[in-house]
C-alpha cells in the first residue's frame, strides 16, 4: 500500500505520490482506501492530487513525453471517479461510469450541432436521474455541473478558436441544460405558517397571484395537509384567495390509501408528475 492513513501529506509529497500511483497495479484499491481513510487527516487530498497532475502534465508537455501524458490522463480520469468533489452517497453506477465522466461531461465536439449527440446526452442524464432516489437528484446534477465547468475551463486554456469552437458550444449547451434541471430540482423556500395567515379578500383584484400551475397549487395544499401544517381546506376559500384556482376541487378530490387510510389526491400525484413541494418538512420536525 502506497498511501498511509496516519500521515498528513505536504505539497511536496504529492509529486512523489502521483509518480508512484500512476504505475500502481492496484490503483483502485489505493484510491478507495484514500477516500475511506486518507481524507480524514488530508481533506484536500484529491484536490491536491489533481493540481499536482496538472503541474506534472505541463512539464511532460514541455519535455515531449507522450507515454507520461497518457498515463497522467488515465490517472486523472480515475481520480475524478474517487474525488471528494463527488457526493459520497452517489451510487457506484454514477461514480464509476466512464461514459458519463469521460464523454458526456467532457470534451465533445459533436454535441453542439448534431441532434443525435444532443439527444443522447439528455437521455443519458435523465436515465441516471431515474436510477437514483429523489434526494440524490440535486447532488447528482450539481456534480455534473461542476465536472462540466471544470473540463470547460481546461479546454479553454488550449482552445485556439474560442469564438467558433464546436467543443465550446457543446459545453455551453450542456451547462445551460443542467442549470435548468438544477433550478427545477431545487426545493422552494416556504414558510407555511405565515403563508396562510391572511384574510379572505373581498375582490378578485386582491387575490394572491399564484405563479405556478393549478396542479402545483393543489399539490401545495395537499402536502401542507399531509405534513400537518393545516387541518383542512375549503375549495371556495382557495378560489377566493388565489388566482389559477378555478377548478381546484377537481385536483384536490381525495382518494384513500387502503393500508394507511390517508388521502392520496390521485389527480395531483399522477405518474410522471414533477413534484415541487416534496421537501416541506413535517410540522413535528424541528
Per-residue pLDDT for the chain (286 aa), expressed as one digit of tens each? 999 988 999 888 999 999 999 999 999 899 888 877 888 888 778 878 888 888 898 899 999 999 999 999 889 888 877 775 666 577 777 766 768 877 888 888 888 788 899 999 999 999 888 888 888 888 899 889 988 888 888 788 888 888 888 889 999 999 999 999 998 888 765 555 444 554 544 445 578 888 888 888 989 998 898 888 888 888 888 988 998 888 888 888 877 777 777 778 888 887 777 788 878 888 775 5
Is 102 in the same domain as 58? no
Range of the domain at 12: 1-84
Among 140, 157, 186, identify where a domain stops. Answer: 186
pLDDT value at residue 207: 85
- 94 and 79, same structural domain? no
Residues whose CB is less than 8 angstroms from the CB of residue 67 and which lie 6 or more positions away in sequence, other chains included: none
Last residue of a domain, one of 20, 52, 84: 84
Q: Are residues 231 and 267 in the same domain?
A: yes
pLDDT computed for residue 3 by the predictor: 92
Question: Do 139 and 218 share a structural domain?
Answer: no
- Residue ending a domain, among 143, 165, 186, is 186
Same domain, 137 and 205: no
Query: Same domain for 197 and 278?
Result: yes
182 and 192 assigned to the same domain: no
Indicate whether 160 and 170 sit together in one domain. Answer: yes
Residue of 142, 69, 146, 131 lying closest to 97 (CA atoms): 131
Q: How much is the pTM?
A: 0.47
Q: Are residues 56 and 112 in the same domain?
A: no
pLDDT at 2: 93
Contacts of 154 (CB under 8 A, 6+ apart): none
The backbone torsions φ and ψ at residue 256, rounded to the nearest 5 degrees and listed phi first, read -130, 130
267/273 Cα distance (integer angstroms): 10
Residues 138 and 74 occupy one common structural domain: no
Q: What is the reported pLDDT for 188?
A: 65
Total structural domains within the chain: 3
Residues 6+ apart with CB under 8 A from 234: none
Please tell me whether residues 74 and 146 are part of one structural domain. Answer: no
Q: Closest by alpha carbon to 166, among 119, 112, 105?
A: 112
pLDDT for position 159: 87
Inter-residue contact 148 to 175 (CB < 8 Å): yes
Sign of torsion over alpha carbons 80, 37, 39, 135: positive
**Alpha-carbon span 257 to 264, nearest angstrom:** 6
Sequence-distant (≥ 6) Cβ neighbours of residue 110 within 8 angstroms = 117, 166, 170
- Residues 118 and 139 reside in one and the same domain: yes
In this predicted structure, what is the pLDDT of residue 201?
A: 47
What integer pLDDT is reported at residue 198 of this predicted model?
Answer: 47
Amino acid at each position: 500500500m502506497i498511501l498511509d492513513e496516519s500521515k498528513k501529506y505536504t505539497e511536496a509529497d504529492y509529486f512523489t505520490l502521483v509518480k508512484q500511483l500512476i504505475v500502481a497495479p492496484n490503483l483502485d484499491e489505493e484510491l478507495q482506501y484514500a477516500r475511506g481513510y486518507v481524507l480524514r487527516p488530508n481533506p484536500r487530498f484529491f484536490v491536491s492530487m489533481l493540481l499536482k497532475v496538472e503541474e506534472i502534465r505541463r512539464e511532460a508537455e514541455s519535455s515531449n513525453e507522450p507515454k507520461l501524458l497518457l498515463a497522467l490522463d488515465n490517472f486523472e480520469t480515475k481520480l475524478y471517479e474517487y474525488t471528494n468533489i463527488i457526493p459520497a452517497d452517489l451510487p457506484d453506477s454514477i461514480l464509476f461510469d466512464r461514459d458519463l465522466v469521460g464523454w458526456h461531461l467532457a470534451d465533445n465536439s459533436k454535441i453542439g450541432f448534431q441532434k443525435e449527440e444532443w439527444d443522447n446526452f439528455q437521455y443519458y442524464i435523465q436515465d441516471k436521474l431515474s436510477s437514483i432516489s429523489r434526494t440524490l437528484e440535486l447532488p447528482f446534477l450539481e456534480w455534473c455541473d461542476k465536472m462540466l465547468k471544470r473540463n470547460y475551463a481546461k479546454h479553454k486554456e488550449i482552445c485556439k478558436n474560442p469564438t467558433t469552437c464546436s467543443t465550446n458550444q457543446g459545453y455551453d449547451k450542456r451547462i445551460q441544460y443542467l442549470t435548468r434541471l438544477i433550478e427545477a430540482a431545487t426545493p422552494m423556500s416556504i414558510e407555511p405558517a405565515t403563508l396562510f395567515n391572511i384574510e379572505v379578500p373581498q375582490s378578485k383584484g386582491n387575490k394572491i397571484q399564484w405563479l405556478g400551475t393549478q396542479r402545483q397549487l393543489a399539490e401545495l395544499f395537499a402536502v401542507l395537509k399531509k405534513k400537518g401544517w393545516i387541518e383542512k381546506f375549503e375549495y371556495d376559500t382557495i378560489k377566493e384567495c388565489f388566482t389559477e384556482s378555478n377548478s381546484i376541487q377537481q385536483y384536490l378530490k381525495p382518494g384513500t390509501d387502503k393500508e394507511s387510510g390517508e388521502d392520496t389526491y390521485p389527480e395531483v400525484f399522477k405518474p410522471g408528475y414533477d413534484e415541487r413541494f416534496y421537501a416541506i418538512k413535517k410540522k413535528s420536525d424541528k
